[in-house]
Amino acid sequence: MNGRGYQLSLRPWRWTQLPATVWGVDSDTAVWVQLDDLDQCGWRTEAPILMTPWCAVFRVSNGGAQRRWLWFWRAWMSESDYRRLSRLLCLWREHR
């Protein structure tokens, strides 16, 4: 990631029993990396994208047959991180 990239640290609520994951994104290329994964492979943002005031849902692909859905609740991150994520996804959708 270059100097413009930023990290999102997600802490799911305890009742969801989901493991906490840490994702990094390069804000120039919209390439995501799961930082707590040993492989550290890049995941590209794909459509469809759903942004609401409460959550963001979008799909990423690692170039092969693997695809994942990323689902970020607004409550899992700070206000500024959620705004940055919204801006990044809106710009990606416009310029892809």
Q: Which residue from 30, 3, 8, 5 is spatially nearest to 80, judged by alpha carbons?
A: 8
Structure tokens given for 76: 């899992």
pLDDT digits (tens, 9 = 90+) for 35-81: 777 777 888 888 888 888 888 888 888 887 788 888 888 887 788 88
What CA–CA distance (Å, rounded) separates 78 from 83? 9
pLDDT digits (tens, 9 = 90+) for 71-93: 888 887 788 888 888 888 888 87
Instruction: For the chain, give every domain's residue range.
Output: 6-95
Structure tokens given for 87: 């801006």
pTM: 0.68
